[in-house]
């Protein structure tokens, strides 16, 4: 009942979620998808890796992983790639906070909703629970 409350559903309409951990979950599932079977040790390692990456970024995550596994520091190319990924990650985070970007996303969602409503009006309802 709580998940179907009007308050929670109204928060989801604007594209917001009810779960603050959703970004972490997305990162974890990208490292270890549900559709691929892996051993428990692999799953554990990927979860640790994902949490470290989420909390500290790519560069620090690479250094910690490399030092823990081989007791040596990563090479210059690995460092460059990790640094570049961190810059992209931070730039995307700043972009997502930008008011113009948020307004763009809102307009895009409204346009998609209108397009779907127009399509339903033209073609009729193509699916509904208990309709067919």
Residue range 83-95, pLDDT digits in tens: 888 888 888 888 8
Name residues whose C-beta falls within 8 Å of residue 36's C-beta, 6 or more positions apart in sequence.
Answer: none
Q: Kindly state whether residue 86 falls inside one of the protein's structural domains.
A: yes
Tell which wins on pLDDT, 131 or 105. 105
Report pTM.
0.42
Q: Kindly state whether residue 77 falls inside one of the protein's structural domains.
A: yes
Percent of the chain exceeding pLDDT 90 equals 8
Q: Kindly state whether residue 1 falls inside one of the protein's structural domains.
A: no
Name residues whose C-beta falls within 8 Å of residue 17's C-beta, 6 or more positions apart in sequence.
Answer: 11
Can you tell me the distance from the alpha carbon of 120 to that of 123, in angstroms, rounded to the nearest whole number?
5
What residue numbers bound the domain in which 57 lies? 8-122
Q: Kindly state whether residue 128 falls inside one of the protein's structural domains.
A: no
Count of the separate structural domains present in the chain: 1
Q: Kindly state whether residue 127 falls inside one of the protein's structural domains.
A: no
What tens digit of pLDDT does each residue of 26-35 get? 878 888 888 8
């Amino acid at each position: 009942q709580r998940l179907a409350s009007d308050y929670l559903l109204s928060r989801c309409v604007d594209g917001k979620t009810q779960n603050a951990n959703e970004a972490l979950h997305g990162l974890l599932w990208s490292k270890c998808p549900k559709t691929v079977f892996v051993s428990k040790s692999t799953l554990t390692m990927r979860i640790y890796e994902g949490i470290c990456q989420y909390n500290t970024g790519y560069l620090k995550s690479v250094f910690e992983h490399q030092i823990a596994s081989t007791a040596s520091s990563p090479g210059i190319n690995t460092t460059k790639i990790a640094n570049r990924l961190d810059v992209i990650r931070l730039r995307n985070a700043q972009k997502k906070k930008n008011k113009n970007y948020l307004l763009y996303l809102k307009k895009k969602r409204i346009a998609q909703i209108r397009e779907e409503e127009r399509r339903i009006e033209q073609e009729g309802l193509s699916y509904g629970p208990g309709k067919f």
